[in-house]
Amino acid sequence: MSTANVLFGWQPMADEIVADIQNVYLGAARNEGIFRNLNLTLKAGHTAIVTGGPGSGKTSLTALLTGVGFADEGLVEVFGESLRPRRIWAINRVRRMIGGVGGIFGLVPSMTVAENIAFPLVITGLSKRRRQAKLLKMLTEFSLLKKAGDYPRTLTRVEHTLVQFARASIGDQPLLIIDEPSAGLDQATTARIFEFLIKASLSGRALLLLCSDAPAHDLPNSDIYHISNGTLE
């Protein structure tokens, strides 16, 4: 078990339910439904790969799991907390335990690369000495040492993605949500990213991958779903 998971206040056991979506309906404009009877259960050490085109609901799924949006009907529980409006304390607790790449998990423009990567540790209250040691490790592993003092606006697309993955790695949060993990990446970088995802999964973290198409790389304990007509198939 990771010590960082203890810092985030949740200690996952093998196959323990991390996120549970049951019978969710989410409406949209013009009385159209984004989700109709949506169901998804994600356990520790498992990966859910959700495919779908633009407008299929992948962004809305992330919103449900992070408390950015709420179901009109049904149940959404993450780390045992029911995510509903006005349960701000529960939403904040859940968000601390989710790392992400892409979508709503963009970098903070006013922070340097180093500050962006270290941010998950800042909110845990980890000592500066331990933060610096973990930051140096991440900067080295993701080949970002020379970019530590740079700002996101100066980064290439590949560098931008690597910074997000370094940030997702440093906190070791028990749930990772990855939006289009290989978008804009060359084959070598994509292979490197999937090595990280495999390692994260084997460590007991739960992964949710949102993709236009199923990835070419295999992940352990993974299931592939497709969003169609507001449900997962």
Q: HEC string of 30-48?
A: HHCEEEEEEEEEEECCCEE
Q: Are the CB atoms for 226 and 233 separated by under 8 Å?
A: yes
The tokens for 56 are: 């299929």
pLDDT of residue 2: 44
Q: Are the CB atoms for 36 and 5 separated by under 8 Å?
A: no
β-pairing, 47-51 with 222-228? parallel
| CA-based nearest residue to 205, from 190, 226, 220 | 220
Q: Are the CB atoms for 180 and 102 separated by under 8 Å?
A: yes
What is the separation of C-alpha 1 from the centre of its chain, rounded to a whole number of angstroms? 19
Mean pLDDT for all residues in the chain:
91
pLDDT of residue 15: 83
Query: What is the mean predicted confidence (pLDDT) over 169-175?
Result: 92
pLDDT of residue 11: 62
Query: What is the mean predicted confidence (pLDDT) over 87-92?
Result: 94
Q: Where are the alpha helices (DSSP H) in the chain?
A: 3-7, 58-66, 88-96, 113-122, 128-141, 157-171, 187-202
Between 58-62, 88-92, 164-168, 181-185, the lowest mean confidence (pLDDT) is in: 181-185
Question: Domains (ranges, CATH) in the chain?
Answer: 3-232 (3.40.50.300)
Give the whole-angstrom CA distance, residue 85 versus residue 97: 19
Above 50 in pLDDT, residue 211? yes
Query: What is the mean predicted confidence (pLDDT) over 182-207?
Result: 93
Q: Per-residue pLDDT tens for 6-64? A: 455 556 677 899 999 999 999 875 556 799 999 999 999 999 999 999 889 999 999 99
pLDDT of residue 14: 75
Give the whole-angstrom CA distance, residue 64 versus residue 144: 32
State the amino acid at position 191 in one-letter form.
Answer: A
Q: Per-residue pLDDT tens for 118-129? A: 999 998 888 999
Q: Per-residue pLDDT tens for 213-229? A: 999 899 999 999 999 88
Considering the chain, what percentage of its residues have pLDDT values greater than 70? 93
Q: Are the CB atoms for 47 and 221 separated by under 8 Å?
A: yes
Query: What is the mean predicted confidence (pLDDT) over 171-191?
Result: 92
